[in-house]
Structure 1
Amino acid sequence: SASRKKKQQKNTHNNIDPPPPRRMFLSRSSSGLSLSRRAVRSFTSGRREWKVYLSGEIHSDWREVIAKGVADKNLPVTLTSPNTSHEDSDDCGAIILGMEEERPNWDKIGANMNNIRTKTLIKEADVVVVRFGEKYRQWNAAFDAGFAAALGKSIITLHPPAISHMLKEVNASASVVCEDATQVVDTLAYVIDGTLPDTPRDGDAFVPIADRLGKGNPNP
């Protein structure tokens, strides 16, 4: 009936998250800074849970920074990672299966065991974050990035600018290249909810593209 159809349409509409509130932004133009309102335009039917795999360097707290940022922003994200205990990842095979006399065999049984987790979680991930540090050569991280790229995963690389040249091919396969963990959190927030940080990375020097080149974005 018409009333039932109308009720079904209403229920379907109610399953769509309402648009987030408009937020205030500072924009710079030739007349100086002015307040403008920008609507966040990211709509999702229901609350999708995103799976983000954190690969790479294990000697700093970058994973904890991302986890805290995700929690603070209340993002629907499940974070996973490899086993970050260096000793356990080295010795797991020998502890469970028994020791090997030769180091290559010792490493092989451990690596095979670790790969079960790594392959499974990367295959399940929506986004793979790969962290490279300056001090250690993260061959495993580079391999994870290649594996994720082969699977067509969205990749975010994270590393200091000083090693950008060495990682240019890896970065070429990434959707986003970040310099610090907070940028990863801000990227996830934008992708998931459409929200942007209150302060641009360039601070007061930031100029919206429409103000720089004019509305309609003509060629410079």
Structure 2
Amino acid sequence: MNLTVYLSGEIHTDWRKRLKEGCEAHNLSITFTSAVTDHDASDAAGDVLGVESVSYWRDHKSAKVNAIRTKTLIESCDIAIVRFGDKYKQWNAAFDAGYCAALGTPYITLHNEDIIHPLKEVDGSAIAWATTPEQVIEILKYTLTKE
């Protein structure tokens, strides 16, 4: 079995790298997809549609262009991992989790204990909550290797 796993959320730590390397170390058959993780490139995604003098409209255009990628990848994944970090509020990650819930796409949340309360609804629809990429790796390993 091969899984397609969509990685959503926080972009300032190495959680994606740790997850991918851990899955490779276990020879798990996983294709990883993700939103654009280059912050500047993501913010500029809509610039191809014309320069905007008002930041709201630049952000609006970029959100729409980014949504083409995000929507397509979430709709085609088998499972999503949604990471919430400590430094920034990841509203986009919460939106991705909600979209997964609406589609019936299983997702795992990945975050520290200190933000359990603000994420209670997001965690409530998740199939699992993990605090480390290594826990997620074990879930994916179990999914792919146990009969």
Tell me whether the two structures share a fold, i.e. TM-score over 0.5.
yes
Q: 2:56 aligns with which of 64, 79, 104?
A: 104
State yes or no: 1:124 paired with 2:65.
no
The structure whose residues are more often helix, as a share, is 2
Match of 1:172 in 2: 124
Find the partner of 1:76 among 26, 29, 33.
29
Give the secondary structure class of the aligned counterpart of 2:21: helix
Structure number with larger C-alpha Rg: 1
**Corresponding letter in the other structure for 1:52:** V
In 2, Cα distance between the equivalents of 1:102 and 1:136? Answer: 23
Q: Over residues 121-150 of structure 1, what are the superposed CA-to-partner deviations in whole Å (9 max), with x where a residue is unaligned?
A: 000010010000111100000000000000
The 1-side partners of 2:33 and 2:139 are apart by 17
Count of residue pairs the alignment pairs up: 147
Pick from 145, 158, 165: which aligns with 2:97? 145
- 1:1-220 pair list within 5 angstroms: 48-94=1-47, 96-194=48-146
SS where residue 157 of structure 1 aligns?
Answer: strand
Instruction: Measure, in 1, the Cα distance between the counterparts of 2:143 and 2:31.
Output: 15
Instruction: Give the secondary structure class of the aligned counterpart of 1:60.
Output: coil
Residue 85 of structure 2 aligns to a residue whose secondary structure is coil
Q: Distance in 2 between matches of 1:191 and 1:116?
A: 29
- The letter for the 1-side match of 2:126 is A
- 1:48-88 CA-partner distances (Å, limit 9, x unpaired): 21100000000000000000011000001000100001101
Give me the identity figure in percent.
48
Distance 1:112 1:168 in 2: 28
For normalisation by structure 2, the TM-score amounts to 0.97
The structure whose RCO (Cα within 8 Å, separation 6+) is larger is: 2
- How far apart are the structure 2 equivalents of 1:83 and 1:110? 12
RMSD of aligned C-alpha atoms? Answer: 1.0
* 1-structure distance, mates of 2:45, 2:112: 31
Deviation, structure 1 residue 102:
1.2
TM-score in terms of structure 1 length: 0.65
What is the distance in 2 between the residues matched to 1:133 and 1:161?
11
